[in-house]
Amino acid sequence: MEEKTFEPKITAFVCNWCTYTGADLAGTSRLKYKPNIKMIRVPCTGRIDPVFIIKAFEKGADGVLISGCHPGDCHYNTGNYHARRRWVLFTELLNYIGIDSSRLFFSWVSASEGKKFVDVVTEVTETVRKKGPFIQYHKINKEFVLDE
């Protein structure tokens, strides 16, 4: 089957208290956003182990979005501060290894920012669509399946 247009696959790791609720608000407000995003709810952005992001790429994601509460608003007080520091290191590491960190998106979306959530998702989807599929990772994924 030949694909005519490339539909990016995007995995989103969102925090339960802010972004997930924000996405909920977008829904109840009947706002429309791209269906390319697959959301995974986690308790806090501090719960997002970088291995999740690697796993997402392994499972065929072309982009990953990570979103949580604004600094200072964390339900667990400091989860997002800790996470933020890790992301600085992790994005640098990915860039160094050759995994373009422009496929990785971070945002703060609070529970009241349904509109912002829609904007973020739209922007992420369009950016990844322009960048095209994550060929390098897809290649090693494919090799892996053949080996099995």
Q: Is 136 in the site for another protein (CB under 8 A)?
A: yes
Q: Which C-beta is closer to another protein: that of 92 or that of 126?
A: 92
Tokens 């979306």, residue? Answer: 109
> Does residue 141 touch another protein according to CB under 8 A?
yes
Alpha carbon 136 to chain centroid, angstroms? 18
**CA distances in angstroms from 53 to 25, 119, 132, listed in the order given:** 26, 22, 18
Contact assessment for residue 26 and residue 115, using Cβ atoms and an 8 Å cutoff:
yes
Instruction: Indicate whether 40 belongs to the interface with another protein (CB under 8 A).
Output: no
- Cβ distance to another protein smaller for residue 6 or 81: 81
Instruction: Tell me: does residue 94 bind another protein (CB under 8 A).
Output: yes
For the CB of residue 29, give the shortest distance to another protein in the complex, in Å: 20
Q: Are the C-beta atoms of 103 and 128 separated by less than 8 Å?
A: yes
Q: Is the torsion defined by CA of 80, 85, 89, 95 positive or negative?
A: positive
Please report how close the Cβ of residue 73 comes to another protein at its closest, in angstroms. 12
Residues that bind another protein (CB under 8 A): 49-51, 54-55, 58, 71-72, 78, 81-82, 84-100, 105-108, 120, 123, 136, 140-141, 143-144, 147
